[in-house]
Each structure stands twice: as structure tokens, then as C-alpha cells.
């Protein structure tokens, strides 16, 4: 149940609420230790083109691979 409540069903990555919780903990820990903290964000450009050209199943597979 915990896994279902904390992860996206399709990709298995942490959901938004858990991401924010971990983020807050990480920022606090970095401040306490006086260490730098980096966050890398990325985006899948033109994702809709994959769905449109190759179909929904290919789009899902692409999203899972990207995640």
C-alpha cells in the first residue's frame, strides 16, 4: 500500500508529494551540514510527437524509459 501511495503507477517514480517531502528533508540536511545541494530537472521535449507518430503504446514505453 505504501508503494502505491508514494509512486506513480505507470513509471514507478516518486509522486509529487513524496518528491516535495524528500526535497524539504534534503534542503534541511544540506543547511545543517553547510554543504551544497543540487537539483536536476529535465523535460521530454516533443513527447506528443511520439504518441502521434507511433501510437500510445510507444509513448508509454518512451515515458517509462525516460523516467
Identify whether the C-beta of residue 7 lies closer than 8 Å to the C-beta of residue 13: yes
How confident is the model at residue 34, as a pLDDT?
97
Task: Give the single-character DSSP code of 2.
Answer: H
pLDDT tens track for 20-61: 999 999 999 999 999 999 999 888 888 889 989 999 999 889
How confident is the model at residue 1, as a pLDDT?
84
First-to-last alpha carbon distance for the chain, in angstroms, is 21
How confident is the model at residue 3, as a pLDDT?
80
How confident is the model at residue 30, as a pLDDT?
97
How confident is the model at residue 67, as a pLDDT?
87
Q: Is the pTM higher than 0.75?
A: no
Report the chain's C-alpha Rg in angstroms: 16
Amino acid at each position: 500500500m505504501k508503494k502505491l501511495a508514494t509512486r506513480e503507477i505507470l513509471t514507478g517514480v516518486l509522486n509529487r508529494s513524496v518528491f516535495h517531502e524528500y526535497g524539504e528533508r534534503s534542503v534541511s540536511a544540506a543547511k545543517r551540514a553547510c554543504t551544497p545541494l543540487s537539483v536536476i530537472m529535465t523535460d521530454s521535449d516533443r513527447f506528443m510527437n511520439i504518441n502521434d507518430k507511433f501510437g500510445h503504446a510507444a509513448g508509454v514505453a518512451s515515458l517509462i524509459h525516460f523516467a
